[in-house]
Amino acid sequence: MADRLDPVLENQPVQVNGYIADLPQTTRFGIRFSFAPDAGQHLPATVQASWYGKPPALHVGERWRLQLKPKQVHGNLNPGGFDLEAWLLQQDIGATATVQSGSLQPGFAWQASINRAREVLRGRILAALPQAPYRGVIVALTVGDQGGIPNEQWQRYAATGITHLISISGLHITLLAGLVAALVRWGWRRNPVAARFGAPRAALIAGVITALVYSLLAGMSAPTQRTLLMLAIAAWGLWQQRPVSTVTLWLAALTAVMVFDPFAALSIGFWLSFLTVGGLLWAGSARLGEGPRWQGWVGTQWAATLASFPLLIILFQQMPLTSPLANAVAIPLVSMLVTPLALLGLADPTDLALRGAERLFALTDWFLQWCERVPGGMLTLPSPPAWAWLPALLGVLLLLAPRGVPGRLLGLVFLLPLLAFAPQQAADVRYRVTAIDVGQGLAVLVQTRHHALLYDTGPPPAGQRNVLPTLRALGAMQLDAVIVSHNDNDHAGGAVDVLKGAHAAQLLSSLPPEHPARQLAVPQMACRQGQHWQRDGVDFSILWPPPDLQGDDNAHSCVLQISAPGTPPLLITGDIGPNEEAAIAATGSLLPHGIVIAPHHGSARSSTQALIDATQPRWVVFSSGYLNHFGHPKPDTLARYAAVGAQPLRTDRRGAIRLYVGDQVTITTERNIRRHYWLAVPAAGTP
């Protein structure tokens, strides 16, 4: 953790010399790349830099002088959500930065030679498949770069449980190493001169070298490290004529990865890789191989699925039930046909092999699309309690145990904490509020005892990355309504993903008819002042906008007030401005001494004295992005709330904020719940 950005340098312009260390990735807004500053420049060894607008072409190994605005590593943090800070730590990235300007310098960084070779090969594939829809997959299978795969395709591969195939996986490395070893052994025996050195040993050397080269192309991810080490140890045992058991190989590889790369344990791929292989070993190759070949294949898929089941539920709260079928078809197609053909295509000047590999994967994807459409194909469960992993592990061990082990079916009982867990609301809590950390945007989940409502959906990536994982983790995939306050991207951008991914009984919004969310087959109603409903004794009232209102999108924001007898109220305001705040305050409908979700993320003109005087809030929640360029929340706005004694709560500093509202209000924040040493937690006394 010593290789972190000095807080003094955060958000300050600095001139840095260094080189581009990894493959640049094109994004919607520019280019993102890993930059390695030269020694002695008071920056971490690797910085993830983003160059927005229309940056120049960037290539691995080039030396640049850049003006950067660095930031400490920071990611959105939500229940059930991805921990970006852990991932960046595992990738040895100590800071992020925005590029303000730069100039190319002479020279080449030899340290980046392998990644430069990967970039050249990537360029070769992209040039050969300029318009092919699955060219990103072919790049991933050959050089381990997954950045070119469209989000829609990634969602499909996740929904069918085959994401492990869309990379240079352990299976691919093993198959290729075995193929090369077999070819070398066959050819070696037919060469009288070469035959003086034993063909088996020549085959072992060729197989290990192939595995090493292919693993380097993959960027040495955790699954490839595991496979390479297991193959190397197995080859050494055969060389010494002392075959090593598969369990010993597995334990040795696990130990070696943990010793040489301790932060690999922060990688989801590490756990999925080792636990799945461990499950297969525990199930027993002899038992899986009994009977017809198809039964052995089905048994292998069953064992792999069951071994990964607890981890998928604990980490992602979902399990693709079509995964065994999808893998049974995709594994042979991708591993035995698509991948070898794609690798052959790297040396094929006609590009026919690359085109053939891409078309073969198109056939695979057609089948995956069918699997994705299977009704009930995804099992979704709430986030289980932390202790549930232990009985789940025992359950898997029992279910996969060899025949003859007594009580195998009792394993189902040990899985019940995962399968049957349902979050319970405490008796003294009337409703729960979760301000989801979506960066510079807004998404608020409100849950009563038996119902749930989502107000706003954050910016476009947040619907998939932040909102849906939170809904799954908190058991709120069945929504009474989704309210989209107005037609701003930071509030409505995730609406389509949320409405497709969760079940919403109704869409209540101020969106125009042409908005994509309005085109979905969801019952819809316009947000209007005076709408009112009740759930589990909790009142929901729309205070704004009135009919026939004139004004911009912000002025049309739906304003929602939630209250229950004897409890502090909640006010969610969208992006209303000073005029709207004054008009609502003048109606006398605002309830005091509760929780306010600050209008417009805490901008200077919002949260007027009229609104604050009318609400007299005890708590104010600011949903904004970390070091956002708007400077939200503004100091003057914070001061106005402080003057009435309101406690500020900020998603940019605390992650998701949860408020349990009853006679008293209990507050928890995601950063304080997790308390991992790599997560930045604000000091006591800061909002």
SS3 assignment, position 383: coil
**Residue 562 contacts residue 570 (beta carbons within 8 Å):** yes
Banded pLDDT at 286 (limits 50, 70, 90): very low
State residue 289's pLDDT score: 47
**Residue 87 contacts residue 266 (beta carbons within 8 Å):** yes
Mean pLDDT of 66-76: 94
Find all residues with CB under 8 Å of 404, minimum gap 6, and list them. Answer: none
Q: CA 361 → CA 134, 158, 165, 217, 241, distances in Å?
A: 7, 16, 12, 20, 40
Mean pLDDT of 5-33: 92
**Residue 619 contacts residue 593 (beta carbons within 8 Å):** no
Taking 70 as the threshold, does the pLDDT of residue 247 lie above it? yes
The token duo for 686 is 């800061």
Q: Encode pLDDT of 614-653 as tens digits.
A: 999 999 999 999 999 899 999 999 999 999 999 999 999 9
Find all residues with CB under 8 Å of 358, minimum gap 6, and list them. Answer: 129, 132, 134, 135, 137, 138
Work out the percent of the chain whose per-residue pLDDT is above 70.
Answer: 95
Banded pLDDT at 682 (limits 50, 70, 90): low
The token duo for 315 is 């980490």
How many other C-beta atoms are found inside a 10 Å radius of the C-beta of residue 683? Answer: 5
Domain with CATH 3.60.15.10 in the chain: 429-674
Task: Give dist(CA 44, CA 70) in Å, integer.
Answer: 10
SS3 assignment, position 298: helix
Q: Please check whether the domain covering 7-108 is classified as CATH 3.40.50.11890.
A: no
Greatest mean pLDDT among 176-180, 267-271, 512-516 lies in 512-516
Contacts of 349-353 with CB under 8 Å at 24 or more apart are 351/128, 351/129
Dihedral sign from CA coordinates of 680, 685, 686, 687: positive
Task: Give dist(CA 342, CA 399) in Å, integer.
Answer: 38
SS3 assignment, position 631: coil
**Residue 66 contacts residue 37 (beta carbons within 8 Å):** no
Find all residues with CB under 8 Å of 304, minimum gap 6, and list them. Answer: 276, 279, 280, 327
Task: Give dist(CA 41, CA 18) in Å, integer.
Answer: 10
Task: Give dist(CA 601, CA 534) in Å, integer.
Answer: 28
Distance, first Cα to last Cα, the chain: 25
The token duo for 155 is 């969602």
Banded pLDDT at 402 (limits 50, 70, 90): confident
Banded pLDDT at 681 (limits 50, 70, 90): low
Domain with CATH 2.40.50.140 in the chain: 7-108
Work out the percent of the chain whose per-residue pLDDT is above 90.
Answer: 54
State residue 296's pLDDT score: 63
Mean pLDDT of 19-25: 95
What's the CATH superfamily of 429-674? Answer: Ribonuclease Z/Hydroxyacylglutathione hydrolase-like (3.60.15.10)
The token duo for 151 is 């989000």
Mean pLDDT of 275-289: 68
542 beta partners:
560
Q: Which residue has the higher pLDDT, 305 or 534?
A: 534
How long is the chain? 687
SS3 assignment, position 20: strand
Q: Encode pLDDT of 168-178 as tens digits.
A: 777 778 878 88
Task: Give dist(CA 303, CA 632) in Å, integer.
Answer: 50
Mean pLDDT of 55-82: 94
Q: CA 521 → CA 59, 464, 499, 500, 507, distances in Å?
A: 45, 19, 9, 10, 10
Mean pLDDT of 107-131: 93
State residue 421's pLDDT score: 80
State residue 400's pLDDT score: 83
Mean pLDDT of 494-509: 96
Taking 80 as the threshold, does the pLDDT of residue 455 lie above it? yes
**Residue 156 contacts residue 372 (beta carbons within 8 Å):** yes
Mean pLDDT of 188-196: 67
Dihedral sign from CA coordinates of 624, 629, 632, 635: positive
State residue 288's pLDDT score: 45
DSSP structure class, residue 96: E
| Torsion-angle region of 220 (φ positive above 0: left; ψ -120 to 50: alpha; else: beta) | left
**Residue 354 contacts residue 138 (beta carbons within 8 Å):** yes
pTM of the predicted protein model = 0.87
> Measured over all CA atoms, what is the biggest interatomic distance in the chain, rounded to whole angstroms?
99
Q: Encode pLDDT of 141-154 as tens digits.
A: 998 898 899 988 99
Nearest Cα neighbor of 333 from 213, 223, 172 is 172
Taking 80 as the threshold, does the pLDDT of residue 294 lie above it? no
Mean pLDDT of 89-102: 91
DSSP 333-377: HIIIIIHHHHHHHTT-TT-HHHHHHHHHHHHHHHHHHHHHTSTT-
Taking 80 as the threshold, does the pLDDT of residue 84 lie above it? yes
CA dihedral defined by 224, 226, 228, 233, rounded to 10 degrees? Answer: 180
State residue 399's pLDDT score: 86
Taking 50 as the threshold, does the pLDDT of residue 612 lie above it? yes
How high does pLDDT run on average in the chain? Answer: 88
SS (H, E, C) 522-591: CCEEECCCCCEEEECCEEEEEEECCCCCCCCCHHHCCEEEEECCCCCCEEECCCCCHHHHHHHHHCCCCC
Taking 50 as the threshold, does the pLDDT of residue 600 lie above it? yes
Q: Residue 210 corresponds to which amino acid?
A: T
Banded pLDDT at 291 (limits 50, 70, 90): low
Helix, strand, coil percentages in the chain from 3-state DSSP, rounded to 5:
45, 20, 35
The token duo for 123 is 């360029």
